Amino acid sequence: MFCMISTDMSTNKVALVTGSNKGIGFAVVRSLCKNFTGDVYLSARDVGREIFSRRNTAASMYSLTTPVLRSKSPIPRLLESKLRSLRTNFFASRDMCNEFLTIIKPGGRVVNVSSVMSSIALKNCSSELQARFRSSDITEEELVMLMEKFVQEAQNGEHTQKGWPNTAYGVSKIGLTVLSKIQARRLREERTGDQILLNACCPGWVRTDMAGPNATKSPDEGAVTPIYLALLPPGVTEPHGQFVSEKQVQVW
């Protein structure tokens, strides 16, 4: 899930939430409609699940009736069911960010919803991989190369021997967390003074279709940290480029 708040003094405030037809994404939209004075756009990969426009007393809520972008993921069709999380969580999120970061206004906020599994999976990577994923000079091109390398080595059934954890979901969330750090660094370098804040977060273990009914948090509780980051007040400079859980910056 990706949430972007774009605003400046001369235009209306706009929020875009992907994967927002259900679960945590819809809870984020519901909270934004209560706490954000602007237009809130919902989007989903499945057009049939789009939620059509309705008005809210706190904000206008609209649906994007067509997909904004189609992922350019290199995942082979043969592996699509096994590695679908790479396509969605990393490659599609990268496409969305690279598209919308070009138009986000000064003072905007970007939140990529990662997972604590990114930290767990990172600890199960080889020391060489850990060093690169934690490096302050890793580039987006190198990160994409590493994600594609995982796909290829998983296709060949040799990813664990090559130092990867045995979880495509975990690797996808490593990619998303590191991507957030790279993009945040680039924003600071290229848009100095615009005060755009970009972070990754873990919403916690939430009762969704994926996590199941035994998870400890409701979707509304899972939306708390993403909303906290999306609505960071004007003038603050941190957190930025961080991995945040329970509204606290976590060691990466």
59-106 residue pLDDT tens: 454 545 444 545 555 545 545 555 788 998 999 999 999 999 999 999
DSSP for 152-214 reads: HHHHTT-TTTTT--S-HHHHHHHHHHHHHHHHHHHHHHHSTTS--EEEEEE--SB-STTT-TT
At residue 222, φ and ψ (nearest 5 deg) are -65, -25
Q: State the catalytic residue, choosing from 41, 62, 169, 228.
A: 169
- Kindly state whether residue 41 falls inside one of the protein's structural domains: no
Quick check: is 102 in a domain? yes
Active site residue 169: yes
61 domain residue, yes or no: no
Does residue 39 form part of some domain?
no
- CATH of residue 156: 3.40.50.720
Per-residue pLDDT of 129-144, as tens digits, reads: 999 999 999 999 999 9
d(CA 39, CA 188): 26
Assess if residue 196 is contained within a domain: yes
Number of folded domains that form the chain? 1
CA distance 188 to 195: 8
Is residue 42 domain-resident? no
In a domain, 142, yes or no: yes
Going by DSSP bridges, is the β-strand pair 243-245/248-250 parallel, antiparallel, or unpaired? antiparallel
Q: For residue 83, tell me if it sits in a domain.
A: yes
Q: For the segment 6-24, what is each residue's pLDDT rounded down to a tens digit?
A: 765 456 889 999 888 888 9
Tell me the mean pLDDT in the region 115-125.
Answer: 97
- Among residues 179, 177, 100, 110, the alpha carbon closest in space to that of 138 is found at 179
Work out the widest C-alpha separation in the chain, in whole angstroms.
Answer: 55
Domain of 186? 69-250
With cut-offs at 50, 70 and 90, classify the pLDDT of residue 212.
confident
Q: Which residue has the higher pLDDT, 53 or 231?
A: 231
Is the pLDDT at 181 greater than 60? The verdict is yes
